[in-house]
Amino acid sequence: MRRVWPEEVTRGAEHLETGFAATMDDEVFAAEAAAGTLCSLGREWAFVQLALTGRRHGPGDAAGLVVLGGKPLGVIGPSGRDMIIVLPPDQVARAAEYLRGVDPATLVGRHRAALAERAGGELPAAFAAEIERHAANLRHFYAAAAGVGQAVAKRTYR
């Protein structure tokens, strides 16, 4: 996911896709991650969603906005199945407020059984720590976006 200005959203999905495409370059990815404009959950996204919400799918509350929330902006990419989803600034602020009030280790502990089930029956300590790290990164990412009135663009890869 990337922090974007509302004006960028009005330019459409293809415009936002150029920003995501640029991050396929390792140096650009590293620079954007270090600057806090990019927050990648990688293949762990479903585990982070589960840790934050206790469920696999669906927004519905502030916790659900963080990973899966937002409005589809458009289909992009060669598969015709990938899309850009945008969480507007007001919902970014709700997600940031939720994240401010949670402790990543507590979240993982609360949903440990569901996380272990999703992982195949066991949740190794190192993987639990990785999920906690993602949750902490999301807290900083959303706080920064909310602090300056940005939206959050998300790109699905199928």
Q: How many domains does the chain have?
A: 1
Average pLDDT (20-30) is: 95
Tens of pLDDT, residue by residue over 46-83, are: 999 999 988 766 656 888 899 989 999 998 877 778 99
Is the pLDDT confidence value at 84 over 80?
Answer: yes
Separation CA 31–CA 6 (nearest Å): 22
The CA distance from 145 to 130, in Å, is: 22
Domain that holds residue 82: 2-155
**DSSP H helical ranges for the chain:** 6-10, 13-22, 26-35, 45-53, 62-65, 89-100, 104-110, 112-118, 125-147
pTM: 0.92
Residue 60's pLDDT is 63
pLDDT tens, position by position, 2-20: 999 999 999 999 999 999 9
3-state secondary structure of 123: coil
**Looking at residue 58, what is its pLDDT?**
61
Write the CATH number for 150. 3.40.1760
